[in-house]
Amino acid sequence: MGLLDSVLGAVMNGQGGQQSQNGTNAAGGLGGLGGLIGLVASNPQLLQAITGMLSNDGAQGGLGGLVAKFQQAGLGDVIGSWVGSGQNQAISGEQLSNVLGSDALAGLAGKLGVSPDDAAGQLSSILPGLIDQLTPQGQAPEGGLGNAGDLMGMLGGLLQNR
């Protein structure tokens, strides 16, 4: 059993939802943790892809790199709402495609076995609530969220506590 299996086990055993400090459900627009469980159960590669995106050693440069990409695309306020303590702003799959770029999204879609539009839609549903939960103090950690292993551990802990 690998780390991903442990996290998936925690997801599958942690069926309850909980409100975050800012009143949103843990998984954002997916109707809480139940939606995240469904997506991960049907496509566990999604969890690996998100971990790769948010980890310091990932292709996007971690959370700081992702924030910079959102700012460059004129959507800094959107990701800022996910990190901050207020209401999470929604993002469309098309907006997320503009932030990440077509090459990055095509690579992600290939890993997930879906179309780029579907990958963008899945990410746009999960990222707001997930980033919100990973930044409970209302700000991004100065050193980022850590490497992929650290982030998988954090995700496992969040999901087990639900």
Range name among 22-26, 32-36, 134-138, 156-160 with the lowest pLDDT average = 22-26
Query: Is residue 82 pLDDT above 80, yes or no?
Result: yes
Give the pLDDT confidence of 84-106 residue by residue, as tens digits: 888 999 999 999 999 999 888 89
Domain positions in the chain: 18-160
DSSP 113-146: TS-HHHHHHHHHHHHHHHHHHH-TTSS--TT-S-
Range name among 18-32, 47-61, 75-89, 135-149 with the lowest pLDDT average = 18-32
Query: Is residue 40 pLDDT above 60, yes or no?
Result: no
Give the pLDDT confidence of 8-39 residue by residue, as tens digits: 443 343 333 333 333 333 334 444 545 555 55
Q: CATH topology for 18-160?
A: Arc Repressor Mutant, subunit A (1.10.10)
For residues 93 and 54, give the distance between their C-alpha atoms in angstroms, rounded to a whole number. Answer: 17
